[in-house]
Amino acid sequence: MYKLIATSFLFLFTVTSTWSQTKDDRAELAKQTITQLKDGALLIRLSSKSQTLELLRERGYPKRADHIEKVQAEKNKEIVKAYSTIGFTKVYFFYSEHSENVRNGNLEGILLDTALNKVTGANIKHYVVGATGPLPKNYEYKESNDDNTPANVTEKKTYGGGSNLSILSFYLMDKNFDLLPDPFPNHQRYHPVILTTLTHEEVAEKIDEKLVKYYEKVGDS
């Protein structure tokens, strides 16, 4: 039997087996999450490639490491500039090597503002994690024939033409880095249709619109 696990006062986003819950359970979770996110924060993960850089320098390739570091820094600046425009909730950033801190709720000293300066004293009780890249593996779930019963092995939703296709997207996760389940607006593709590529700014605008629309929708329900 599937069950939503209550979390501590800091982490009401923690969920177990969300993609296997009933449709009603997922809808209730999505409503709770969007409401909390409105007054909470979106924490966007940035890649620093710290492990790769450390390994290259250890093996005597400092110039190659410097080049990769410079390229990644420019990519991060582009992401920060674009996603700082999200207006639905407060937006902060963190580097990927601090993912465990985010998972455990230890946010002090790791969050960055839109200028990539460290943020201190941020009182964040509820948050959702955002990232760019291929959609996580749990972007597949089983539909139930009965909205009020746990899902069975009836139909498996897949996206993007197959399970082996990487779908480059901006996606939203809970604090355990699990993709938030439908009907929460959990992602926006960079390639919504064939031969079309959106910029970071366009993707940020679309995900912001989705969050606003969903918040307004559940507020009327």
Name the residue range of residue 90's domain: 18-219
2 within some domain: no
Quote the number of domains for the chain. Answer: 1
125 within some domain: yes
Residue 158, pLDDT score? 38
64 within some domain: yes
What does the pLDDT look like over 17-46, one tens digit per residue? Answer: 454 578 889 999 999 999 999 999 999 999
Strand 127-134 vs strand 168-173: parallel, antiparallel, or unpaired? antiparallel
Q: Look at phi and psi of residue 46 and say left if phi exceeds 0, alpha if psi is from -120 to 50, else beta.
A: beta
Cα dihedral across residues 183, 211, 218, 16: positive or negative: positive
6 within some domain: no
Residue 20, pLDDT score? 55
Q: CB-based contacts of 178: which residues, under 8 Å, 6+ apart?
A: 15, 18, 19, 136, 138
Cα 190 to chain centroid, rounded: 14
Cα gap 139→158, rounded to integer Å: 7
161 within some domain: yes
**Residue linked to tokens 């460290």:** 118
Residue 101, pLDDT score? 95
50 within some domain: yes
Cα gap 156→143, rounded to integer Å: 6
153 within some domain: yes
Residue 13, pLDDT score? 42
4 within some domain: no
Total Cβ atoms within 10 A of residue 157: 11
Cα 61 to chain centroid, rounded: 33
Cα gap 168→189, rounded to integer Å: 6
Nearest to 133, CA basis, from 86, 167, 103: 167
Query: What are the pLDDT tens digits along the chain (221 aa)?
Result: 444 333 333 334 444 445 457 888 999 999 999 999 999 999 999 999 999 999 999 999 999 999 999 999 999 999 999 999 999 999 999 999 999 999 999 999 999 999 999 998 888 999 999 999 988 766 554 333 333 333 322 233 433 333 334 689 999 999 999 999 999 999 999 998 888 899 999 999 999 999 999 999 997 66
- What beta strand segments (E) does the chain contain? 41-46, 90-95, 127-134, 142-143, 155-156, 168-173, 187-189
